[in-house]
Structure 1
């Protein structure tokens, strides 16, 4: 967004038509609520639950909806709810593990406008955005970017330039993030208490930038995901605590569990290299090769140094595949 003509919104308030240069009602009508049901025996059910709710954004005239992927991973039933209360069945098109984006396709005609995709590379701290859930103006709030920075998630996930907005939207999962042209600049992913990236607790949302979708959109539509080999996945949730990397959880039946990694283990190194920081840990693992590569870890457990070798996997291989309708 250009800096010579700043877009000044009333922060934290619902957007008003006189604050924007586009048709606000039409733009917000592209946002739908999304309800999914996941089988009880799904791999992600113990963590994410079997009934999930969030938002999605219509991005094509044939009813393709972009959302955040954890809402639709392993989903067998999906419903889209528009601003008039209309319910529309949909099915999963695909999910990208690396970005976290998910795509679903309405099974019937939505009669909703598609929101154009913006460019997220040019935005920066201080820019105004609208974060919107389904429900029109009352479900949208004026926000501001507080930081654009690297984000590492404990579930083996890294974004180079995640967008952080304040104040936090109460229905952030899959929410539309809209720029001053009325175009989609990102998708809501998380509620974050340290949105500024420092020690101050400032409630905000982490947004996945839309530019990450563009190179992979056609692949997800045609193949359900990226065609290239998957990154190595360990099935290990890792947390940073007092400058240490601690294993906080293990996926049942996953590679780390089979190799003998235990919750509470402290990760000291990967492939003989000392590691500090979540993003460094994950990037080092991914640098070893594709899914299936062996990953040597050095751990600290019960006052002892423990070496384990994990035969990594592809996370998608553990998930139920989308059901074709």
Structure 2
């Protein structure tokens, strides 16, 4: 498995280093319909610097100062990034590839996709990057990651997998884009195809990009076709307009076939219902759950945020094997976060 991953990384680097070496020659062939050069495409990527609100819910897990990349997608300075960079932000600042610095305003955050939007203030004259269509993107497709930061720049990669991604923070993508080799400046980075169009936004580093449980380090990107149907609503209202899913405020991890609660959101629904770290989730509404994805889908099938959800729990430290039913009134996670929309 390790040898297979290494060979794939080596082939990817070889092919794209050749492309990059002749980028000045190849620029017209990877330009969009508007005949943009590769340099112009890369120029749409900006640095995003964020200071988080005091007392933010995510300050402990994500920090109070966050940095990453963003992609200019609108002529009015609209920037697309990964949402965890900017949610609960107090101040936002963006820096262009030429060094131009501008303050920015929070526009929107969508938990279901993970996308975040901000807008640079003033005259931020950057040609926006066109949105592509990654729906037909297959494993093996050659791509570029473009990012800012100390370890940023342009990196050749390949798409190696299209499959679900599950995050313990109530996050599920049905068809995430997995790439190799890994890129260090992944947060908010642009995934660009050979037509010079944006096909994904960087989210995470993973150790199993090639297939589940493989030793194949890479990155996860959120496909931009998820943005198209919700973009206008996000700009207008700060949210996607989709009905919020029921949120329980518990984070669980899978261990030896069991789902164990490893954190409970303060003042969240699970905390109010008495759930504790170490409790084992056996089922939802009397139906056994096999993994995190299965649990999320069963919880979300109960209705919208505000629905009552019954969890079958084996309490931590219990002397018996009796299963306890805990009824939780779910909430909208957005309302629990301390997001300043001004």
| Aligned counterpart in structure 1 of residue 161 of structure 2, from 147, 165, 169 | 147
216, 224, 231: which one pairs with 1:202?
216
C-alpha separation between the residues in 2 aligned to 1:57 and 1:233? 29
Distance 1:136 1:57, change over 3 A: farther
Q: Does the CA contact (< 8 Å) of 2:151 and 2:184 recur in 1?
A: no
User: Would you say how many aligned residue pairs link Structure 1 and Structure 2?
Assistant: 317
Tell me the equivalent position of 2:332: 314
User: What residue in structure 2 maps to residue 255 of structure 1?
Assistant: 269
Q: What is residue 300 of structure 2 aligned with on the other side?
A: 286
Distance 1:251 1:11, change over 3 A: farther
1:187 paired with 2:201, answer: yes
Counterpart residue number, 1:84:
98
Larger Rg: 2
Report if aligned partners of 1:82, 1:134 keep a CA contact under 8 Å in 2. Answer: no
Q: Which runs of 5+ in 2 are unaligned?
A: 1-11, 32-36
Asked if 2 retains the 8 angstrom alpha-carbon contact of 1:59 and 1:115, the reply is yes
Q: Secondary structure at the match of 2:134?
A: coil
TM-score where L is the length of structure 1: 0.93
**CA 1:60–1:270 in structure 2 vs 1: closer, same or farther (change >3 Å)?**
same
Q: Which region of structure 1 is more displaced relative to structure 2, 137-146 or 108-117?
A: 137-146
Equivalent position to 1:15, from 2, 17, 20:
20
* Greater helix content: 2
Does structure 1 residue 267 correspond to structure 2 residue 281? yes
Contact 1:130 1:141 in 2 (8 A): yes
Is the CA contact (8 Å cut-off) linking 1:151 and 1:161 kept in structure 2? yes
Write out per-residue CA displacement over residues 8-62 of structure 1, whole angstroms, 9 at most, x where no aligned residue. Answer: 8745749341455221111000000101011221111121111111100000111
Contact 1:177/1:187, CA 8 A, preserved across alignment: yes
Q: CA RMSD in A?
A: 1.8
| C-alpha deviation, 1:197, in angstroms | 2.2
TM-score scaled by structure 2? 0.89
Distance 1:176 1:134, change over 3 A: same
1:190–1:137 CA distance, 2 compared to 1 (3 A):
closer
Report how far residue 134 of structure 1 moved. Answer: 2.2
- For 1:277-313, what per-residue CA distance to the aligned partner results, in whole angstroms no more than 9, with x for missing partners? 1111101111101101111000122353222111111
> How many Å separate the matches in 1 of 2:189 and 2:75?
19
Query: Structure 1 residues 263 and 107 mapped into 2: Cα distance closer, same or farther (>3 Å)?
Result: same
Which SS does the other structure have where 2:20 is aligned? coil
1:3 paired residue number: none
Q: How does 1:92-241 map to 2 (within 5 A)?
A: 92-134=106-148, 139-241=153-255
C-alpha distance in structure 1 between counterparts of 2:150 and 2:327, whole Å:
52
Q: Structure 1's 268 and 11: CA in aligned 2 closer, same or farther, altered over 3 A?
A: farther
Please give the secondary structure, in 1, of the residue aligned with 2:338.
Answer: coil
Counterparts of 2:206 and 2:302 in 1: how far apart (Å)? 31
Shift of 1:234: 0.9
Change (3 A) 1:135 1:321: closer
229 and 289 in structure 1: CA distance in 2 versus 1, 3 angstrom threshold: same
Q: Which runs of 5+ in 1 are unaligned?
A: 1-7
Quote the Cα distance in structure 1 between the aligned partners of 2:149 and 2:196: 16
Kept in 2, the 8 Å contact 1:25–1:136? The answer is: no
